[in-house]
Amino acid sequence: MRTYILLGGGGVFAIHLAKYLLETANPKKVICVGRNLPRSSAFSLDVGKGDPRYAYHQIHVTFEQDRLIELFDAEKPDVIVNFAALAYATSWDKAYRYYETNVVALAKMCEELMSRDYLERFIQVGTSELYGSVDRPADEDAPVKPTSPYAVSKLAGDMHLETLWGVRQFPMNIIRPSNAYAPGQLMYRVLPRAVLCGLTGQKLPLQGGGQARKSFMHARDVASAIHLIAEKAPLGRLYNAGPDEPASIRDLVTLVAEELGMPLDELCVETPGRVGEDAQYWLDSTRIKEELGWRPKIDLRAGMRDMVEWGRKYLPLIQQESTEFTLHA
């Protein structure tokens, strides 16, 4: 029985990993660490509620590392999964914030962890965006072509960990998942916002007509990949994880409209594309499939149905949330 600590633990992907671990992995503990107090049920999904194996701690991983290390030493986690990051592709404003969290805080934390013999594995959650726009699936050895400060910062974090493994044998793995979604995602993201607009008669601004193609995957499939890495992967190994084919944002919003029973032109209005947006993210996930036996299981239609059901269930709560992104340290 293992103790897991999930950093970035208030975010949707850590919440779904916590849910997956509690349901399938028989953990000793699952401890989420986030910079904010727990959000409402619409976003926390009440994961871990009433379960003595679950705990949540409000600690800022960049500015409260003394408290974070004290928590590590008290709980002695076997596995740490790091979702904590500033993660927004339009990262040119206050770009230094992305480096503070995604590189400097990571390096400081891992330097402390080097001397802790209780840690079996540190799993860094990376991003497919550091490969840049591609016209064929990118494997783990593909050239990296980051096109934003966010993507550069995530690449720098990965490279730091790879050197720690190569020189100091820091027990790490890296997963680079494709773009993910799930119930509980914040409302500035395109899919929850599409659901909200459809349920309230608003128009979704579809940037660039939604032509950008990304390999969207449900957060539960990300969770299963991370769990397999924690259980089976050789230390030091890097894995991509994504579906076989990308889909355009327009395709996904069309599925949302169909699940809502409305035509696409009633749901959205086309707006100019985002400056500098990559045209297509697409991963070759052969390595994790062959070495660890992972496959995504939730197809896009089932995933969009899940999103719409979540929106209907929590509509009064999600209506109270802003649909604009705000950069916090």
> 184 and 318 in contact (C-beta within 8 Å)?
no
Q: In this predicted structure, what is the pLDDT of residue 264?
A: 93
Q: Identify residue 260 by its one-letter amino acid code.
A: L
Question: Quick one: which of 2, 93, 108 has its CA closest to 276?
Answer: 93
Strand order from edge to edge, sheet including 79-82: 54-58, 29-34, 3-7, 79-82, 121-125, 172-177, 238-241
Q: In this predicted structure, what is the pLDDT of residue 89?
A: 62
Domains in the chain (CATH in brackets) are: 3-180+216-241 (3.40.50.720), 186-214+245-281+299-318 (3.90.25.10)
* Position 325 pLDDT exceeds 80: no
Q: What is the pTM of this model?
A: 0.95
* Position 239 pLDDT exceeds 90: yes
- pLDDT, tens only, 204-220: 999 888 888 889 999 99
* Token pair belonging to 268: 């959205």
Q: In this predicted structure, what is the pLDDT of residue 21?
A: 98
* Position 273 pLDDT exceeds 70: no
Q: In this predicted structure, what is the pLDDT of residue 210?
A: 84
- Residue 26 CA to residue 179 CA, distance in Å, equals 28
- pLDDT, tens only, 62-107: 999 999 999 999 999 999 999 999 887 678 888 999 999 999 999 9
Alpha helices in the chain (DSSP H): 12-24, 41-44, 65-75, 95-99, 105-113, 149-168, 190-200, 219-232, 249-260, 264-267, 286-292, 300-313, 315-318
For β-strands 29-34 and 180-181, DSSP reports them as unpaired
Identify the DSSP state of 135. Answer: S
SS3 248: strand
Q: Residue range 127-149: average pLDDT?
A: 94
What angle (nearest 5°) sits at the alpha carbon of residue 87, between those of residues 95 and 62?
Answer: 70
H or E segment at 240?
A: strand 238-241
- pLDDT, tens only, 25-38: 999 999 999 999 99
Q: Residue range 248-274: average pLDDT?
A: 91
Band (pLDDT 50/70/90 cuts) for residue 275 is low
**94: region left, alpha or beta (phi > 0 left; psi from -120 to 50 alpha):** left
**Averaged pLDDT of the chain:** 94
